[in-house]
Amino acid sequence: MGKLNSATSTEIERRQFIKWVSLSSLSLALPLTSCNFGGSTKVDLPIDLSNLKNVYDFERLSMKVMGEDALLYLNGGADDLKTVKLNSEAYQEIQIRARRLIDVTNVSTEVNLLGQTLDNPIIMCPVGFQKFFHPDGEIGSAKASVKKKHQMIVSSVSNYSVNEIAEQSQAKLWFQLYPTVDRKVTKKLLERAETAGCKVCVLTVDSPVLGNRERGGTTLTKLMGDKILKMGNYEGIMPEGTTFDDAGMTWDIIAWLRENCDMKIVLKGIVTREDAALCVKHNVDGVIVSNHGGRQLESLRSTIDCLPEVVEEIDGKIPVLIDGGIRRGTDVFKALALGATAVCVGRPYCWGLGALGQQGVEMVLDILKAELIRDMQLAGTASIEKITKEHVLIN
């Protein structure tokens, strides 16, 4: 691949992204109302922080601050949003069996995961284009992750590059990868991630093509077209014709990744026992049970419903994480009880980002961790490893 003029390559990246968005039905006509265009418009709101008691309060506040269009993009999903809703609603079908007369004076939320000891099992999902929600974007989220001791996964399509995020936040990041058809571009992304200190590559495998997302996205497309938002990881490496997905990707990608990076490989998007078995066969380092937040296939299967068969098949050989619909400490508890090593949250911390920037992210993370600790105490579990399948019943 020859060298590209910087201005030309940026323009190509911009055009390619707009094409990518339009192919996913995101460019359907929506009014450009009440959006703050990446934070350029400030909304004066009298905010009593003591009234922000749960993640839903941040969702409501974020809509007032960042606008309807940004919230539609963030909360949107495939087709009729049934899978988006089921991701959360399915947790209501799981009951907690609490034990009594157990000393829970001191509760430990530490987990060992992929060679790291994490303060808690609540990981920040990769979410792209975070400057759409607040001008601090991914840097604000990463700073919050450091301050509150949560692992963060940076998206390939972050507005700030993974290197900028790492430098300005001092976070030990993981990198989420959308493999392009042009493997030279993919290799450059991996090199940039490793230069930023990333030790884990989270390969998204549920997006051979983009899902049918009919709600939200017009304003995002406009902001990309107006060059207000950029894709930091792709600057200078995106040749004409490159796409952000690969419909021809197969399990051979695992061997290719091993040859082209030294990061641990985690597959994001595993929802069946068959693919769980193939993950073990191909020696990946971990999986994330995920349906892309309901944004890809309208499957009508929540991730928490998919979790048990994946856990059973993997049988402790590699860690199993889960994302999708986690909104409460009880949701975290239930996922851990059903065999997840850790959980990932996306929309909740982005509601915090949109509402109050870095401070909002910190508050959301504090709320979720505090809820988890309280729920562990009430259920009689003094550490994460004490949470077992005997602590839950499924209706």
| Residues forming the active site | 292
CA–CA separation, 304 vs 322, rounded Å? 8
Cα dihedral 185, 191, 196, 202 sign:
positive
CA–CA separation, 70 vs 24, rounded Å? 17
Phi, psi of 286 (to 5 degrees): 180, 165
User: CB under 8 Å to 257, separation ≥6 — which residues?
Assistant: 190, 201, 203, 263, 265
CA–CA separation, 263 vs 281, rounded Å? 18
CA–CA separation, 161 vs 235, rounded Å? 9
CA–CA separation, 66 vs 13, rounded Å? 25
Triad 49, 330, 276: Cα angle to 5°: 125
Q: Angle at which helices 137-148 and 162-169 pack, to 10 degrees?
A: 40
For residue 216, give Cα distances in angstroms to 27, 42, 173, 220, 290.
8, 21, 28, 8, 21
Longest dimension (CA), the chain: 68
* 277: three-class secondary structure by DSSP: helix
Amino acid at residue number 213: R
Q: Provide the β-strand partners of residue 4.
A: none
Contact in structure between 72 and 215 (CB atoms under 8 Å): yes
Half-sphere exposure of 8 (CA within 13 A, CB side): 6
Go through the chain and tell me how many residues it has. Answer: 395
Cα dihedral 198, 199, 204, 208 sign:
positive
User: CB under 8 Å to 55, separation ≥6 — which residues?
Assistant: 327, 328, 348, 351, 352, 364, 367, 368
The H-or-E segment that residue 249 falls in is: none
